[in-house]
Chain A
Amino acid sequence: MAVILLSIFAGGCSMFIIRSYPEVIYNDRQPLISVTYDYGEIEVHLPLVYPRYRPEQIAFQVYSRGDTTFPLISVMQGPLDEIVLFLPHGVLDVEDSTNLIKIMPQDYDFRNFYVPFKGIGAGRIDLPVNAIDFKPLIVQGVVTLAQNDSTLSGVALSVQVFPATLARTKSDENGIFEMGIPGEFMKSPNIELIAGSNLIFKPFRQKLDYSNTKGIYQDVRIGPSKTLEGPIYLTNKKYVHFRENPDVGSDTKFLLDKGESVAVKRMTRGEYFGDIEVLLQDGKLVVFDGWVVKEDLTLMQLENIFSKESNHEPVE
């Protein structure tokens, strides 16, 4: 006992203090981690209306991020009042309205169209009402000056079914124009393209027949053609008499509209003798000669073919 006490006294308290290793010793064991996902569903509601009649079937394709190469889904449905599409979570662009639903009525007279929309991760998307309607009828072409084939910009064009004007436009800097009119007029026999109402010439008029097509390419050649030789005069009023002979009482061949071109060959003190062009129904131009009272004609100035009443750009 005495020896033990002596040892403790000699060794001090340090003999009971055990050193600790200065750091934790890891064995780098693989941690146990569990990762699970909860996936939602996207429910797209697309209400539809049918202003004309209902096609038998409608195909729907959904695209993400404007990539129309691969549809996310393709569905064929009857003409319901509301289409509901289900998509998996996370397939849509949720930042921008780059997701698209392509709607394709299975009927030639109906238009196909895209409905853009912004996506969500999961949940319900209610899209605005869309109309399943006829394809628009298109007319396009180039406006040129018949005298020299130069393109004309700023020429007013319209499509009319008397008395209604269905569409208006002006030719662009390259003389190109395009107009669309509602598809419901596809069977109408009285659709007319009118060009050049803002020019000094008689406006160009052409019937448009959409009975077998949805698009018509119609070039517009305006003004006197190259075949008219000599100084060109334009009639300056409506109902100008174009007569067989200059003498009073001579037969009137035609009543000319304002802006008709007359290529003058000879003249007397009060009358001009010249040629006019008449466009036949089959599209052919036929030249007639005759007499017009001098006061009814004005010399054509090609420097500015836009009428004074209009504020249009000059000829290109």
Chain B
Amino acid sequence: MNPWNRFIICILAVSGSTLHAQIALNVNAIPRQVEVIMDGISIGETPIRNQQIIPGPHNFEIIKDGYAPLTYSLIVNPAKAVNLDFYLNPIYKIKFTTEEEGLTFELNKNHQWSDKKIRLELEAGEHILIVYKKDKVVDEQTILVDEPKQFKYFFKKKLSD
């Protein structure tokens, strides 16, 4: 059979029937040596090669100290192999300081403090900082965390003003 006929036959074929064959699971992650938990059971550290799984829904948890844990649900399709690449978000240590008096700080509408100096562990990326003075919002800004650093807060005018 010539390659063109072979191609046409494959194209003509209708996929979609359920398959319960084993599928090779390959998992990579950045950083390396990340523990992978599939459906509640640890399957080792990355890189993972040729872990046999069946098609259907699977839950993955990726855990490593110093990085934000990651959970991911995937319905694995019938295939020869499925390759998963995870990029974990690092957690940076930030030293937060301010000279301002009487302020309360709130990050991501969930975490509050009134200290003028505090050590924070923040997931890399953008965080929303809201500043209160006597229960009134006096400032709002977005902090970009992309490295361990010292963050010194200066009072600015509220953005909405």
Residue numbers of B with Cβ under 8 A of A are 1, 6, 9-10, 12-24, 55, 68, 70, 72, 74, 77-89, 91, 95, 107-108, 110-111, 113, 115, 117-127
A29 touches B21 (CB 8 A): no
Interface code A86-99, partner B: CB below 8 Å = 1, 0 otherwise?
11111111110000
Bound CA–CA A89/B91 (angstroms)? 41
Q: Is the CB of A90 within 8 A of B85?
A: no
Which among A20, A35, A90 has the greatest number of chain B C-beta atoms within 10 A? A90
CB of B125, distance to nearest CB on chain A (Å): 4
Inter-subunit contact A25/B87 (CB<8 Å): no
Task: Give the docked Cα–Cα distance between A163 and B18 (Å).
Answer: 54
- Could you say which residues of chain A place their CB within 8 Å of the CB of B83? 34-38
Q: Would you call A32 an interface residue if the criterion is a C-beta within 8 Å of the partner chain's C-beta atoms?
A: yes
A sample of 5 inter-chain contacts (CB < 8 A) reads A18-B95, A24-B68, A25-B107, A93-B17, A122-B80
A28, A88, A120 pick with most chain B CB within 10 angstroms: A88
Contact A35 B82, CB 8 Å, known A29-B123, A85-B9: yes
Question: A: which residues have CB within 8 A of B?
Answer: 18-21, 23-29, 31-41, 62, 64-65, 70, 72-75, 84-95, 120-122
**Contact among B13, B91, B118, B123 with A18 in the assembled complex (CB-CB below 8 Å):** B118
| Residue of chain B at shortest CB distance from A93 | B17
Chain B CB within 10 Å — which of A20, A85, A121 has the most?
A121
- Cβ contacts under 8 Å, B9 to chain A: 73, 75, 85-87
B123–A24 CB distance below 8 A: yes
Complex Cα distance A75/B85, Å? 40
Measured between C-beta atoms, what is the minimum distance from B18 to chain A in Å?
8
Q: Which of B21, B81, B85 has the most A CB atoms < 10 Å from its CB?
A: B21
A121 touches B78 (CB 8 A): yes
B87 touches A65 (CB 8 A): no
Given A27-B123, A65-B17, A39–B84 Cβ distance below 8 Å? Answer: no
Contact (Cβ within 8 A) A73 B12: yes
| Bound Cα distance from A223 to B68, whole angstroms | 92
- Contact call A33/B79, Cβ cutoff below 8 A: no
The answer on a CB contact under 8 Å between A84 and B80 is no
| Contacting residue for B118 out of A21, A36, A90, A91, CB 8 A | A21
B126 touches A27 (CB 8 A): yes
Q: Which residue of A lies closest to B87 (CB)?
A: A32
Decide: A24 near B15, CB < 8 A? Known: A19-B118, A29-B125, A87-B10.
no
The answer to whether A21 and B120 have CB atoms under 8 Å apart is yes
A23 to chain B, nearest CB (A): 7
Considering the chains assembled together, what is the distance between the CA atoms of A35 and B111 in angstroms?
Answer: 34
**Contact between chains at A91 and B111 (CB < 8 Å):** no
Of listed B55, B78, B91, residue having the most chain A CB within 10 A: B78
Taking a contact as CB atoms under 8 Å apart, the answer to whether A121 and B17 are in contact is no
> Once the chains bind, are A90 and B79 in contact (CB under 8 Å)?
yes
Q: Is the CB of B121 within 8 A of A21?
A: yes
Closest to B81 in A: A38
In the docked arrangement, what's the CA distance between A39 and B19, Å? 13
For the complex formed, measure the closest distance between the CB of B48 and the CB atoms of chain A, giving whole angstroms. 14
CA distance A87 to B89 in the complex (A): 41
Cross-chain contact A34 with B119 (CB below 8 angstroms): no
User: Chain A's nearest CB lies how many Å from the CB of B101?
Assistant: 17
- Interfacial chain B residues near A32, Cβ < 8 Å: 86-87
